[in-house]
Amino acid sequence: MSHFIFFLEIIRPKALLYLSAVEEPIQLEPQKTPGERIMYCDLKVFSGNSNKGLAQEICRQLDIPLSKLDISRFSNDNLFVQVKENVREKDIFVIQSFSRPVSHHILELLITLDAMRSASAKRITAVVPYYSYARSDKKDAPRISIAGRLMADLLKTAGANRVLTMDLHADSVHGFFSIPVDHLTAIPIICDHFQRRFDISNTVVVATDAGGAKRAGRFAQKMNTSMAIIDKRRISDTDVVQGLVVGDVKGKDAIIFDDEISTGGTLTTSVKTLEKAGVRKIFVGATHPVLSGPAVKNLKDASIEEIVVTDTVEIPDNKKMEQLKVLSVGPLFAEAIKRIHSGESVGALFR
């Protein structure tokens, strides 16, 4: 026994010296705080082709690179998606708006989510800044699909563990998901712009119909202004008939607020209705600048001082207008991603 102890005493200093020499060279990066190590090692953000600009802004705010994703098509027009980085046991966020071409972008997202799951990602969050199928939230005609619920089911089936979105057209769509949903709003960002832009003491917020009254009411409350509602009857997707304005608007500046601008048909008729009611100046605020069909012509022809939107939908150059002001929601999405990743409250962003 004494010989064995003597042997250990001889080899222990050499063993410690050897371990020390081995540990030193394997430090491949500078020491970081625990928060920094988690942020850079466990968090990855990917993007489909719907809105690369917003994805890059989100990554700039997070101070991380946009992770690499290869999206292409085979000769038979099938989509091919390959994740170009290791995502095993990582916290993954995939950014993709349901913008034109909508079906193409949805399929891109679904295949990407499935690829992430197959690559053993620890958690996958589908970041959908604009969820267009939120407008299909009820069965208002015979033999139709409630497509908003179907899309929610498809996201889960493809591999999403949670969803991060912004200003759904109908709050009820939130309940279509059987996975956690964080529902952001651009109302504070747009309100802040108008409050810095001009004196709001003689301003009224206008809802284009009764259906949007709750949303416009939240905007008016944040702006600390009064509110009015326009009585609207929709004939078709593009034709709208409006009647009276419920509320005091005469001699005031009006801010028409809605969740999205599609063809601009509702907006143009709202502007005419407000002009007849004696409104002084008209401004528009909306989260999603879809701008489909004749939207650009409709908006250019209307007497609107400024149209304030966000970058949840990428606006091509041929749809940009002089009176159009685009605010970025990148910082808000980046902060929400940070909080989801670290387990903090997302709702606290709006208290």
- Taking only the tens place, the pLDDT of each residue in 50-77 is 999 999 999 999 999 999 999 999 999 9
Q: Quick one: 196 and 295 in the same domain?
A: yes
Is residue 240 situated within a structural domain? Answer: yes
Q: Quick one: 80 and 144 in the same domain?
A: yes
**pLDDT at residue 231, as a whole number:** 84
- 26 pLDDT exceeds 80? no
Q: Which of 90, 232, 272, 297 is catalytic?
A: 232
Q: Quick one: 244 and 286 in the same domain?
A: yes
Of 120 and 27, which is predicted with more confidence? Answer: 120
Is residue 26 situated within a structural domain? Answer: no
Q: Quick one: 274 and 338 in the same domain?
A: no
Q: Quick one: 247 and 173 in the same domain?
A: no
CATH number at residue 316: 3.40.50.2020
Is residue 256 situated within a structural domain? Answer: yes
**pLDDT at residue 35, as a whole number:** 46
Q: How far is Cα 254 from Cα 190, in angstroms, rounded to an integer?
A: 14
**pLDDT at residue 350, as a whole number:** 84
Q: Residue 96 is part of which domain span?
A: 34-185+332-350
pLDDT in tens, 117-152: 999 999 999 999 999 999 999 998 999 999 999 999
**pLDDT at residue 171, as a whole number:** 87
- 15 pLDDT exceeds 60? no
**pLDDT at residue 32, as a whole number:** 45
pLDDT category of residue 168 using cuts at 50, 70 and 90: very high
Which residues, in sequence order, are bridge partners of residue 91?
43, 123
Q: Quick one: 40 and 178 in the same domain?
A: yes
225, 206 Cβ separation under 8 angstroms: no
Q: Quick one: 55 and 175 in the same domain?
A: yes
- The average pLDDT across 274-280 equals 94
**pLDDT at residue 234, as a whole number:** 58
Domain count, the chain: 2
Is residue 25 situated within a structural domain? Answer: no
pLDDT category of residue 23 using cuts at 50, 70 and 90: very low
CA 254 to the chain's CA centroid: 27
Q: How far is Cα 171 from Cα 258, in angstroms, rounded to an integer?
A: 14
- The average pLDDT across 100-118 equals 98
Is residue 232 annotated as part of the catalytic site, yes or no? yes
- Residues of the chain above pLDDT 90, percent: 79
- 79 pLDDT exceeds 50? yes
Q: Quick one: 338 and 299 in the same domain?
A: no
- The average pLDDT across 326-344 equals 97
Is residue 20 situated within a structural domain? Answer: no
Is residue 93 situated within a structural domain? Answer: yes
79-93, 101-115, 220-234, 286-300, range with the lowest pLDDT? 220-234
Of 226 and 6, which is predicted with more confidence? Answer: 226
Q: Quick one: 315 and 344 in the same domain?
A: no
Q: How far is Cα 181 from Cα 62, in angstroms, rounded to an integer?
A: 21
Q: Quick one: 179 and 253 in the same domain?
A: no
**DSSP states of 19-50:** HHHHHGGG--S----HHHHHHHHHEEEEE-SS
Is residue 22 situated within a structural domain? Answer: no
123, 161 Cβ separation under 8 angstroms: yes
Sign of CA dihedral 174, 309, 345, 36: positive
pLDDT category of residue 237 using cuts at 50, 70 and 90: low
**How does strand 69-73 pair with strand 79-83?**
antiparallel
- Return the number of other C-beta atoms located less than 10 Å from residue 137's C-beta: 19
- Confidence (pTM): 0.86
Q: Quick one: 78 and 216 in the same domain?
A: no
20-29, 259-268, 279-288, range with the lowest pLDDT? 20-29
Amino acid residing at 224:
N
Q: Three-state SS for 241?
A: strand
Q: Quick one: 139 and 199 in the same domain?
A: no
Q: How far is Cα 255 from Cα 219, in angstroms, rounded to an integer?
A: 10
Is residue 17 situated within a structural domain? Answer: no
Q: How far is Cα 63 from Cα 60, in angstroms, rounded to an integer?
A: 5
